[in-house]
Structure formats: structure tokens, C-alpha cells
Structure 1
Amino acid sequence: MNNEKTVNVLQELNQFVNDRIEGYKHAADATKDPAHKSYYNDLINQSRSFSNEINSSISSMGGSAEKSTTAKGKIYRGWMDVKSAATGNDEESIIESNIYGEEWAQKAYNDALDNRADLPQNVVQMVEKQKQASLATCERLRQMKESAD
């Protein structure tokens, strides 16, 4: 197994996890619904835990922890700030933005798993577990959107 390849895959994945943290911080600040705020804060904590897991794996393979976010995520959050100002932070827009973010997270997890043959089994299991949690989050967000309609 190639530690350098694994480190690169995990560093890239962790940028998306860091985007997830920033996105849910934005949502928690923007929402006016106390139940949504609590859920977004739970997702921030979950994402921080994911990031810590990934960084621990990176460090154990001799790599440097990944603390940054993606350029695409930064641009998207900037666009969301503009959209929020225009829509007045309505709950449906916030939820839709979170669904979009989770869909990007799914793509990042799938991209990481495309390298499964090059990854240690424990890393594959960690990525699959986090992907399943992201899928569950996406489903819950869709349910929240339906109730907000």
C-alpha cells in the first residue's frame, strides 16, 4: 500500500469535511429555528470528529493534518452569503444549501472510495462509515425541507 497516495486521498477528503464544518456553522448562524440550529451544531461536532479521524490517519502515515477547505467551498459560501441577504435567510434556502453541501460530500467520499484498492482496509472502513453518516444527514435534510415547504 502506498502511504503517500493514502495521505493525498485523505487530505483531499478532509478539505470537503472542513467545508462541511464551515457550511453548518453558516447554517447554525443563519437559521431562526432552534431545532434546526441544534441539529446543525450536532453536525458541526460530527464533522469535527470526522476531521479528527481523518487527520489521525494522515498523521499515522507520516502526512500533515489538513486544516483548509476547498476553493469551491469558499466560493460557494460567498455565494450563499449573497443569496441569504437576498432571501432573508429563509429556512428552505438554508436547508437546500445544506442538501447541496451533503451531495458534494457524497461525491468526495465516492472519489476517495474510487481509490479503495490503494487504501488500507481501516481507512476504507472509516471513509465508508463517514459516507453512510453523510447519506443519513442528506436524507434527514430532505425530510426537513419537505416539512418546511
Structure 2
Amino acid sequence: MNNNERAIDVLQELNQFVNDRIEGYKHAAELTKDPAHQSYYKDLMNQSRQFSSEINSTISQMGGNTQNSTTAKGKLYRGWMDVKNTIAGNDEEEVIKSNITGEEWAQKAYNDALDHRAELPQNVVQMVEKQKQASMATYERLRQMDRAAD
């Protein structure tokens, strides 16, 4: 497997998690009853769509097939969120906690991609690091929202 193929694999896998992020925030925007939170989740959904678009564009430039699916784990997680939120009555704090968990998964996915830094072109490493920083900022903001909801 050459470096280009390896980079494509890494990005395709990462993009499944970014697509999970899109679905997760779409889901959160539907569940929340707080208009400010709903607006924030929609912004994050759009940010995630932009990230996915950047990754797919890079994959295409390298000659790979774009990735539009989500992970099996993400589908299971959203199903579990549905059940949990039905029981909890769409508790705002539970929605925030679910999003925090989602960002923790995103951080792991970005770190996994960056573990292959040596095999990735420099522009790809920069894109992944930039997205990882945005995810980290989101994680910090969600933690603040969680503390405020206590």
C-alpha cells in the first residue's frame, strides 16, 4: 500500500466519524427544547458538513472514493440516545452529555488519523489538526453548557 492509498484510508475512516458528528448534531437539534442550543447544534452540524466536504475533496484529489456513510457504532449510539431520551423525556442535560461523548469520539478519531502523520501529506495533517482544534473548542463549550445546566 503506498502513502496515497494509506492517506485515503485514514481520511475515509475519519470522515465516517465526521458524518457521525453531522448526524449527532442534527439529532441534538431535533431533541433540544432550548432555542439557543438548537441554533448552536445547527451551527455545529454545518461546521461538520464543511469538514466532511474538505475531507472528501482531499480524498478525491488523491484519487480515492469519497466517504458519505457513518460508523456502525454511531448508528447504535444514536439509537441508544433515542431510547434514553424517550425515557428521560428529552432532558436537556442528557442531550448535552451525549454531545460531549460524541466530541470525545471525534477527538479519538482525529488522534487516530494523526497517528499516521508520517504517512500523510503535510496539507492533510494541517487540515486534520485544524478540524481537531475546532472539535476540541466545541468539547470545551459543551462542558461549560453542561456545568451551567447542573
Q: Name the structure 2 match of 1:128.
A: 129
TM-score (norm 2): 0.98
User: In the alignment, is residue 110 of structure 1 matched against residue 101 of structure 2?
Assistant: no
Q: Deviations over 1:12-33 (max 9, x none)?
A: 0000000000000000000000
Q: Which amino acid aligns with 2:13?
A: E
2:90 and 2:5 map into 1 onto residues whose CA distance is 42
CA deviations over 1:90-109 (Å, ceiling 9, x no partner): 11000000000000000000
Matched, 1:3 2:4: yes
Cα shift at 1:2: 1.1
Quote the residue 2:149 is aligned against.
Answer: 148
CA distance in 2, matches of 1:101, 1:52: 19
Secondary structure (helix, strand or coil) at the match of 2:65 reads: coil
Moved over 6 A (4+): none
Task: State the AA in 1 paired with 2:56.
Answer: N
Percent same amino acid among aligned pairs? 77
SS at match of 1:67: coil
Deviations 1:53-76 (A, max 9, x none): 000000000001100000000000
2:67 equivalent in structure 1: 66
1:1-149 → structure 2 map (5 Å cutoff): 2-149=3-150
3-state SS, counterpart of residue 63 of structure 2:
coil
Matching residue's letter, 1:106: Q
- Which stretches in structure 2 are left out of the alignment for 5+ residues? none
SS at match of 2:41: helix
RMSD of equivalent CA atoms: 0.6
In 2, Cα distance between equivalents of 1:6 and 1:60: 11
Residue segments in structure 1 that go unaligned for 5+ positions in a row: none
Cα distance, 1:114 vs structure 2: 0.0
Q: CA offsets, 1:35-64, max 9 Å, x none? A: 000000000000000000000000000001
